Structure 1
C-alpha cells in the first residue's frame, strides 16, 4: 500500500526543475530536492482550510525513524509534503482527486544548522514554476510556529498511516 501511494504521488507530482544548475533555492539556502520522488509515502492528508489533498513522503532515514519510533529524528531525516487543489472526479463524482499542483514543502533535520527552529530547516516551492516561498530567511518562523504544537513528536505532525 505504501508503495502504491508513493507511486501515485510520483505520478501526480508532474513538476520538475530543468537542471541542477537551475534548481530553485529557498531564502534560507535550502535548494529544491529532486530526489524526493523516489521516497516512500508516510501518509496522505487533507487540509479543510485550504481544500487541498496532500501526501507526505519520507527519505530512508525518516522512514526508519518512523518505523522504529526514534525521537528525536536523527540528522538527515527529510520529509516532503506535496499539495494539490482538489476536484471531483468527472466520471466518479463521489471521489475527490488532485487537480492543480499547489506546492512542495521540505523539512530537513540538522540539529546544529537549524538549532533555532528545533533542529529543522524548512523550505517551500510554490506552483509549477517552483517559486521559492518567503522574502527572506525569516519565513521559517512561520513554518516553525505551526509545528510547535507537536514539539513532543520532534515538531513532526505526520505519523505512518496504519495499514495491515
Structure 2
C-alpha cells in the first residue's frame, strides 16, 4: 500500500528531472545555423571551463568559454590543430555592477553576470573535411532563445578568426 502513495511522487520527480534536463542542457528543438548547419549541442552547459573573459566597449559582457571533452583534452595536451569532433562554446551575459556586493565592500568594485546577452551563444565545431574552406571549423551564433543569427552574421565568423590562423583559428587560450 505504501508504494501506491509513493508512485505519484516518483512520477512527478522523474517528470521534473526530465523537463529540467532538456531545459538545462540545451534546447529541445534544434535549429541549425545557416552557412555551417551547426546546432546547439545538448549538454553544453555541463562542459568544462576553458577560460573566462570580459569584453568591454559596445559588447560589455562577461563570457565563459567551455569545451567538450575533445576540446579540453586538446588544450591540456597542447594538441594543435584541434582534432575533429572538438566543440568550443562561448556563453555571454551582460556585465552589471553588484549593489549587494558593493554594500559589503563599501564601494563600487564588484561586477557580476547579469541577464544573458541577446546573442548569448556561439559555437565552433571542428570537422576538417566538412569545413575545409574555413580552416576546418564550422561556426554558429544563437540568441538567448536558441534562434540562430542570419546568414550575413555567420559569413563574418571565419574572416574574423583568420587573425589567429597560427592558433588553429581559436582566440581563447586555456586557463587551467
- TM-score normalised by length of structure 1: 0.81
Does 1:97 find its partner at 2:109? no
Deviations 1:53-105 (A, max 9, x none): 00100111011110111111110010010001111112113211111102110
Which of the pair has more CA radius of gyration?
2
Tell me the SS of whatever aligns to 1:92: helix
**Contact in 2 for aligned 1:109/1:119 (Cα 8 Å):** yes
Does 1:35 find its partner at 2:49? no
**Contact in 1 for aligned 2:47/2:67 (Cα 8 Å):** yes
CA-based RMSD of the aligned residues comes to 1.8
Q: How much does 1:14 deviate?
A: 6.4
**Contact in 2 for aligned 1:117/1:141 (Cα 8 Å):** no
**Contact in 1 for aligned 2:26/2:43 (Cα 8 Å):** no
Structure 2 gaps of 5+ residues are 1-22, 103-108
Please identify which structure carries the higher strand content. 1
| Structure 2 partner of 1:143 | 157
| Structure 1 partner of 2:142 | 125
| Structure 1 partner of 2:125 | 108
- TM-score normalised by length of structure 2: 0.76
- Partner Cα distance (1:139, 1:119) in 2: 19
**Contact in 1 for aligned 2:26/2:45 (Cα 8 Å):** no
- Partner Cα distance (2:139, 2:165) in 1: 15
Structure 1 gaps of 5+ residues are 1-12
Paired residues in the alignment total 144
| Structure 1 partner of 2:71 | 62
